[in-house]
Amino acid sequence: MRVKTLIFCAALLALPPAAQAQTLMPEEIQEIALQKVPGNVMGTGEAVHNGVVVTEYQIEQQNGQIMEIAVDTASGKIIELKVVQMAPGESLPNPQITKDKAQKIAAGHINSTVNGLRPVEILESEYTIVNERLAYIVGIKRGVKIFEVVVDANTAAVISSREDI
């Protein structure tokens, strides 16, 4: 157990200063995720969502649906919940806006909020459910930075954006 603690502490030191403010143990964070989305944890990772350090879990539910949940490592608050893969036989309703329009909105958002001279490049787009809303998740590259912008598929509003680290 001491080796695991040392490895965890070393990993925390490698994270940005905001990440080192962690108050919850990894087991507590995973329990929060599994309470919200019961199932089998398929993978984990760490990310920063709008300056908040989160632990992300991919969880396969009993019906075969795969969810991704992001939990704030300091407070335990659920930051994001999205469908990665629908259950077999299920599908999403048709969106109100097209994928192209969502990409233009996401690119415009990055252009207006992130300083830089380089043009934005659309990497990928995915239509899914994020925080119980139909949405497009648009991956964008600007220079060496990569961003994820979530656009509501019905209202065309930007729901959230984050820089991948």
Mind listing the pLDDT tens digit of every residue in the chain (165 residues)? Answer: 333 333 333 344 444 444 445 579 999 999 999 999 999 999 999 988 878 899 999 999 999 999 999 999 999 999 999 999 999 999 999 999 999 999 999 999 999 998 888 999 999 999 999 999 999 999 999 999 999 999 999 999 999 988 876
**Is-above-0.85 flag for pTM?**
no
Residues in the chain: 165
Residues 84 and 109: their CA atoms lie apart, in Å, by 24
E-state strands within 8-157: 40-49, 52-60, 66-72, 78-85, 120-130, 133-142, 145-152
Q: Domain 2-85 is in which class? A: alpha beta
Please check whether the domain covering 99-164 is classified as CATH 3.10.450.40.
yes
Answer for the pair 159, 150: CB distance below 8 angstroms, yes or no: yes
The yes-or-no answer to whether 2-85 and 99-164 have a common fold is: yes
Return the domain boundaries, the chain: 2-85, 99-164
Residue where the block lists tokens 């415009």: 108
